[in-house]
Structure 1
Amino acid sequence: MKKLITALMLGACVSMASASALAADAKLEPITYLLPAPKTLPAFAPWLIAQEEGYFKDAGLDVTFVTGKGGVDVAKQVGAGNAPIGGAIGDTPVIVRANGIPVKSVALLGAGSLTLIASHDKDPIDKPAQLKGKTITVMAYTDTTYYSLLGTMKKAGLTRNDADIQAAGPAGVWQLFAAGKAQAMAGVPEWVVSARNGGAKVHIMDPAQGFDSMAQAILASDELIKQNPQLIQKIVSATLKGMALIMKDPDAAVAAYVKAVPSHKGQEATIRQVFDLYNKYVYANQKVLGEMNADRLSKVQDFYVSEGIVSKAAPLDELYTNQFVGTGK
């Protein structure tokens, strides 16, 4: 009888604990975050780490990631109110504002550009002028990597007609380069590591020589910024905490990320290489984590207007806000 009573008490305790956990989860606010590409890509590690480490949960959020069709599509969906918040590139508001889509960047994940100009060690490219006459791969002619490449070439007075630029898709962009069928590639850190794993010895141009495009950004609509700034603050703070872990403790970040994305199990060394590139070229040198540099954004917009990518410039304060980061809180 004593054993039975003990078992019943234990069962009751477990049930109460489970009920408490369910009650706690029930208090979490469900939020859909729209990503521009599948969440399994290492580029989205800050968000996945924030989820795995409980940063979103600590902020009272239950975040569900949904994949959109690129950054511009994310901006359109967020601007239309079909999703409360989403991710793109810091350049994206420049493109969509010209079409009347009311979104802003509310946090920028790094001071550098997401796009790197890679070449082969045996024929390194260190200056924009050296891109002349080269075969260069990009993901697509409507992708930010392409626009960033054009911006880099323009610094040397070159146009897209001065090189053989090939839109090769997200896999072909690095595969053609790794196979030696392209002399350069405009791509994100993941593709650089993929090319290295594919046998290429990769040289990366100093980003200071190239076009100052942007890192990834969190986008929110004007309406959400006005109506529910507290929600944006929670998402921004948790995401930046995920980014900070990658910067401060890459090994712990790799472990958390692989736990969040089990398909990468066994690829820890590769993920660490990707994180190292993000830390060196994308995340580094941002005085306040998440902060937009208005001067840099202004130059990016000037380029987009000069190239006819957008029809007109928008006031800078319509493109971003720093109210959710650092001293702007």
Structure 2
Amino acid sequence: MLKSLYQRYSQVSAIVLGLGMAFTAQAQSTDVTYLLPAPPNSPAFAPWIIAQQKGYYAAQNLNMKFIAAKGGVDVAKQIGAGNAMLGGALGDTPIVVRANGIPVRAVAVLGAGGVTMIATNAKANINSISDLKGKTLTVMSYSDTTYYALLASLRKAGLNKTDVNIQAAGPSGVWQLFSAGKSEAMASVPDWVINAEEAGVNVHLIPQAQIFESMAQAIIASDDAIKNHPEIVRGVVQATLQGMQDIINDPKAAAETFAKAVPAYAGKEASLERVLKLYVEHVYANQAVPGRIDPSRLEAVRQFYVSEGIVAKQPKLDDLYTNQFIAPQTPVQ
């Protein structure tokens, strides 16, 4: 009898202990504010949204809250001011802001390609960057890094921003004005190319070889977060890269997951799949180690920004990035 009671007591104690441990694990979940350069319902942010939807952040004990800023440079400024530890921008962004003393650096870059595309209306007969002279272009904002990538592309072709009419139109207006014929070109990401095509525009992309070889989307973090909260930074990096890998492995399934997370896209999975395939083909592809920042490419971008006067000061290369949160043993699947 006593033995039976003891066994029952042990079983109950084990259950209570297990529940207590589970509660403790749940209680240790960390709230993380993550800034994005535009509203989080954009397919451009599919790796993050898919990681959230599939519980990859939760598995890292992170409770993510996504907030839209006004472009990648604004994201960096907010992080530098201590309003968030992490955010999204292009890999170029630390070059632009670090020169102004803002203490952020890239901790992962999502792909080996550049995310910026320059789309034109085929009717405008624009086949090169130099053909943009005198034309109107739309950009998301003057503080988004795609704008700086556009400026660098113009410089590469011997033009400057006064040779074209650049209009900041917001994340929707950038392609809507272009689709309405109010601009002949736009500095675009793959999402907006598909939006314009579905609006009836015969889109022509200026050859990528003429576009400044900027970086893909990146996760950027403050120096303080990297030093004092490395477990949070690592968790965000690894979970987001899982989301990107899902897209690479199966764009169709990834589109379905995204549509579940963002109900406004329900019934638009085929369109989403086209967008995600553009990202896989032009941006995510050919990265030997997912997330790893290539110092030689970053150095080439830095040198161009400095030589062309896009940034006034030359920040140290080592201050612009770290690969310490990238798992070197993670191969491309």
TM-score class normalised by the smaller sequence: 0.7 to 0.9
Q: 1:74 to 1:139 in 2, by over 3 A?
A: closer
Instruction: Compute the displacement of 1:93 (Å).
Output: 0.8
Post-superposition CA distance 1:220-244 (Å, at most 9, x none): 1112212232221111011000001
| Alignment match, 2:13 | none
Aligned-partner SS, 1:117: strand
| Alignment match, 1:55 | 56
| Alignment match, 1:305 | 306
Post-superposition CA distance 1:126-179 (Å, at most 9, x none): 432332333322223333222222221222212223333333333332123223
Q: 1:135 to 1:105 in 2, by over 3 A?
A: same
User: Structure 1 vs Structure 2: percent identity of aligned residues?
Assistant: 55
| Alignment match, 1:246 | 247
Aligned-partner SS, 1:130: helix
| Alignment match, 1:290 | 291
Instruction: Compute the displacement of 1:122 (Å).
Output: 4.1
Kept in 1, the 8 Å contact 2:30–2:61? The answer is yes
Give the counterpart letter for 1:245 in structure 2: D
Instruction: Compute the displacement of 1:63 (Å).
Output: 1.7
Instruction: Compute the displacement of 1:265 (Å).
Output: 1.2
| Alignment match, 1:193 | 194
| Alignment match, 1:71 | 72
| Alignment match, 2:235 | 234
| Alignment match, 2:185 | 184
| Alignment match, 1:136 | 137
CA distance in 2, matches of 1:21, 1:122: 61
**1:194-233 → structure 2 map (5 Å cutoff):** 194-233=195-234
Deviates more, 1:128-137 or 1:280-289: 128-137
Give the counterpart letter for 1:127 in structure 2: S
| Alignment match, 1:116 | 117
| Alignment match, 1:3 | none
Post-superposition CA distance 1:27-56 (Å, at most 9, x none): 423222222222111111111111111111
Instruction: Compute the displacement of 1:23 (Å).
Output: 5.7
Give the counterpart letter for 2:198 in structure 1: N
Kept in 1, the 8 Å contact 2:89–2:145? The answer is no
Aligned-partner SS, 2:328: helix
CA distance in 1, matches of 2:22, 2:270: 35
Q: 1:66 to 1:149 in 2, by over 3 A?
A: closer
Q: 1:77 to 1:23 in 2, by over 3 A?
A: same
How many matched pairs? 316
CA distance in 1, matches of 2:127, 2:296: 25
Q: 1:70 to 1:177 in 2, by over 3 A?
A: closer
Normalised TM-score (structure 1): 0.87
Q: 1:139 to 1:82 in 2, by over 3 A?
A: closer
Kept in 1, the 8 Å contact 2:71–2:143? The answer is no
Kept in 1, the 8 Å contact 2:40–2:68? The answer is yes
Instruction: Compute the displacement of 1:194 (Å).
Output: 1.1
Q: 1:98 to 1:178 in 2, by over 3 A?
A: same
Gapped regions of structure 2 (runs ≥ 5): 1-15
Q: Does 1:318 align with 2:319?
A: yes
Instruction: Compute the displacement of 1:303 (Å).
Output: 3.1
| Alignment match, 2:151 | 150
Give the counterpart letter for 1:298 in structure 2: E
Gapped regions of structure 1 (runs ≥ 5): 1-15
CA distance in 1, matches of 2:205, 2:291: 25
| Alignment match, 1:165 | 166
Deviates more, 1:246-255 or 1:306-315: 306-315
**1:89-104 → structure 2 map (5 Å cutoff):** 89-104=90-105
Q: 1:77 to 1:142 in 2, by over 3 A?
A: closer
CA distance in 2, matches of 1:75, 1:252: 32
Aligned-partner SS, 1:182: coil
CA distance in 1, matches of 2:92, 2:122: 30
Please tell me the root mean square deviation across aligned C-alpha atoms, in Å: 2.6
Aligned-partner SS, 1:181: coil
